[in-house]
Amino acid sequence: MQINAQRSGVESPLTNAGLSALSFVEGVATGAINGVRGAANAVIALPQLERENAALRGENQTLRDENERLHELAAQYAAEVAVRPVVETNPRGIEARVVAFPPENESRSVTIDRGSNAGVRKDDGVLAAGGVVGRVVAVTPFSSQVALVTDYTSRIPAITRRGRYWGIARGNLASIRVEYIPQDASIKVGDVVVTGRGRSVRSGIPIGTVTRVERGEANLYQTAILKPAVDLGSLDRVVVVPK
């Protein structure tokens, strides 16, 4: 077949088949050799890759730590800026940070990091950027306990900003009840209630906003339920003002 093909000047079928088989074998061999070479190179480079991965993991952790630190600094700065107007309004005020909440929430109170050594006294008022926080109920040399306006023991003279109706703001755990408001007083949801003159804080400081009004048919008074003006669950910076 080879001789006849050469005599006639055409390609032999045996040649075509042989070349095809040889090409296939060469392709397989080349792939195997390249695979072995690539595996060998990978094995050689593996320690270097592990070192580079470890370095990258370390850099990522460093960046995460730095990001968390910057977030904390930004939060502290924002808290300081927010309370600055309170300090300017009360030059004798003592800046403090909230450092503890009751572990079992048996009372609505917090602990601040200023005590008698800093000039804090029992019954001093405590304010935050939004309004009234509460009053000091216990003092040690380096810390003090503050009863929040939502604590059951809290009693604050209160007055509605619109209409100037008087009442007593009493803590109700999650809210504030302003009691003894005259029955004919025009109290509406959204009204702002501020402090009257008391022994712990001066007048005109926001206590909260009316969310509901309870009127009794046989009673001479009505009660306004308030949402506190200050987010008491996320307290950070506060200002203690002399009673």
Residue 170 pLDDT greater than 80, yes or no: yes
Start-to-end CA distance of the chain, whole Å, equals 120
Residue 133 pLDDT greater than 60, yes or no: yes
Taken in order 145, 177, 163, 208, the sign of the CA dihedral is positive
- Superfamily designation of domain 92-243: Rod shape-determining protein MreC, domain 2 (2.40.10.350)
pLDDT tens digit sequence for 33-67: 766 666 666 667 777 878 888 888 888 888 788 78
pLDDT tens digit sequence for 118-130: 999 999 999 998 8
- Beta strands (DSSP E) in 88-232 are 94-100, 109-112, 125-127, 132-139, 144-148, 155-160, 166-171, 176-182, 192-195, 206-215, 221-228
pLDDT tens digit sequence for 158-168: 999 999 999 99
Q: Give the predicted TM-score (pTM) of the model.
A: 0.67
pLDDT tens digit sequence for 171-204: 988 899 999 998 889 999 999 999 998 888 889 9
CA gyration radius for the chain? 39
Query: What are residue 72's phi and psi, to 5 degrees?
Result: -65, -45
